Chain A
Amino acid sequence: MSAPGSEAIVSEESGDLALARTGDAQAFANLIQRYEGKIFRLAQHITQNREDAEDVLQETFLKAYTHLDQFQGNSKFYTWIVRIAVNQALMKLRKRKTDRTVSMDEGIDTGEDIVAREIATWDPSPEEQYGREELAEILDSAVQSLAPAYRTVFVLRDIEDLSTEETAAALDLSIPAVKSRLLRARLQLREKLTKFFKHKGDDAFAYM
């Protein structure tokens, strides 16, 4: 998570944080503007629903605002709000009576699922095979088909670009648990995407 210029961003952020703690509304608005897009995307990925995602977004920043004095400053502000957002999003899922696989521990397979069934090379650039929107739809629906326990880890690590340690802290999981879930999430997504992106020539023998 260290992009060029990230030091300047961090110091600007700590300035905004210090001011926001004193009740400076503009400083808090700056913090919102920096992270609202990422938090909204994260909420959409976990809840799979735009309306719920908007609720999660509002609840996250309202909670952050009212509990800013509890932010210790020993983690990044972003990690802190991600943690709030993940909890809010999981609560939304639990409230949905139809969704039974909402616990961070449910839907976890028992070690026997580290397999690769679809073995086929992909076209050199899958991005060019599909239109932008169509590609986004394929990627979203693949993520949505993962169990929440895997989906949440994948979204934090590979979409939001949090480190393994930050993801573990945000989800209250051990580092081995994060790694194991990430591996399974990546392998399951690979299977799903291979169905769309595989090099067509590899099917040639299927017709014989």
Chain B
Amino acid sequence: MLTCKDFLSELSDYLDDSVDSEIKAKLEEHIKACPNCWVVCDTTRKTIQVYKGQTECSIPLDIHARLMAAIEKKCAERGK
């Protein structure tokens, strides 16, 4: 039987679905019998999801403009 510590050390790979089927079966067996690990697993999955849900990555217009100006300046220097 896996201990809670064993379970935690595999949790990340389990959530990424990158454990082999034998370990996966053992982890799932543990989780069914251990309410604490079930909660930790569930809330860690939600932690990842809530960050993935934050997809906002637009760039402020002034920052974009200054970046393009810096690149244009570099282009001009190289063109000389």
Between A114, A116, A158, the greatest number of chain B beta carbons within 10 A of the residue's beta carbon is seen for A116
Q: A38-B57, A40-B63, A187-B44 are in contact. Are A119 and B71 (CB under 8 A)?
A: no
Distance between Cα atoms of A117 and B57 in the complex (Å): 33
Q: A120-B39, A136-B54 are in contact. Are A36 and B9 (CB under 8 A)?
A: no
Distance between Cα atoms of A78 and B58 in the complex (Å): 17
Chain B interface residue number, banded: 35 or more
Interface of chain A: mostly helix, strand, loop or mixed: helix
Flag whether B42 is at the interface (Cβ < 8 A).
yes
Between A23, A136, A194, the greatest number of chain B beta carbons within 10 A of the residue's beta carbon is seen for A194
Chain B residues within an 8 Å CB radius of A40: 57, 59, 63
Distance between Cα atoms of A165 and B50 in the complex (Å): 23
On whether the beta carbons of A126 and B46 are closer than 8 Å, the reply is yes
On whether the beta carbons of A57 and B39 are closer than 8 Å, the reply is no
Flag whether B52 is at the interface (Cβ < 8 A).
yes
Instruction: Quote the shortest CB–CB distance from A148 to chain B (angstroms).
Output: 17
Binary interface encoding of chain B residues 53-80 relative to chain A, with 1 for a CB under 8 A from any of its CBs, else 0: 1101111000110111011101100100
Flag whether A18 is at the interface (Cβ < 8 A).
no
Distance between Cα atoms of A139 and B48 in the complex (Å): 11
Binary interface encoding of chain B residues 24-66 relative to chain A, with 1 for a CB under 8 A from any of its CBs, else 0: 0000000000001001101110111011111011110001101
Chain B residues within an 8 Å CB radius of A41: 56-57
On whether the beta carbons of A186 and B48 are closer than 8 Å, the reply is yes
